Amino acid sequence: MRFVVDVMLGRLARWLRLLGFDVIYRPDAHDDQLIAIAEAEERTLLTKDARLLRNRRVNGYLVRSARWEEQLREVIAEFHLRAFIRAFTRCPECNTPLVEIDRESARPRVPPKVYEQQREFYRCPDCARLYWAGTHVERMSRKLEEVLNR
C-alpha cells in the first residue's frame, strides 16, 4: 500500500513511515499536485479535505479522526494494514527504505557510547541519516503498541 498525504496529515505520514509504509508527504504541494502524484504513482491520497476528493477520479480516503493516534488506527483498520507493518525499515524524514551498514562504517558518525552499545546500524541512502535501536526506538515502539492495540 502506497500513500500520498496532504499538508494536514504530516504526523500521520511520519508514523506510517515509521511502520514501514511508503508515504509521500510534501507540505508545499498544491491539491492538483497531490492528485497528479496519486494518479501517476498509483498511490492512495489520504486527506482531511472532503472537497479534494469530491468529483475526482483519484483513489482517495477522507481521514475523519482529529488526533494522529486515532488517524493511524483509522488508516491501519481501513486498509487492513496490520499484517504489512515493518516498523523502522524506512526513513521517517525522506521515505527511503533503510539499508543496514557495517558497524565499523558507523563508528565515525555516532557518539562513542552509542557505538559501544549498539551492534546494528542503518543508513538512509538518500539523506544519509544514520539510525540505530536506541532508547528512542523503545519509546516509539511502546507508543505504537499502545496506539495499535487500543
Q: How far apart are CA 83 and CA 127, in angstroms?
A: 28
Q: Are residues 45 and 6 in the same domain?
A: yes
Mean pLDDT computed over every residue of the chain: 94
Helices and strands (DSSP H and E) totals, the chain = 7, 7
> Locate cell 532508547: which residue?
135
Q: Which residues contact 25 (CB under 8 A, 6 or more apart)?
A: 4, 5, 9, 10, 13, 14, 95
The Cα diameter of the chain in Å comes to 57
State whether 141 and 69 are in the same domain.
Answer: no
Domain residue limits at 113: 99-148
pTM for the complete prediction? Answer: 0.91
Residues 26/19, Cβ–Cβ less than 8 Å: no
Give the H/E segment covering residue 150: none
Percent of the chain with pLDDT over 70: 99
Question: Could you tell me if residue 92 is inside a domain?
Answer: no
Residue 90 belongs to some domain of the structure: no
In the numeric block, the cell 562504517 is attached to 105
The rounded distance, in Å, linking the Cα atoms of 85 and 130 is 21
Q: Read off the pLDDT of residues 9-66 as tens digits, 9 standing for 90 and up.
A: 999 999 999 999 999 999 999 999 999 999 999 999 999 999 888 867 789 999 999 9
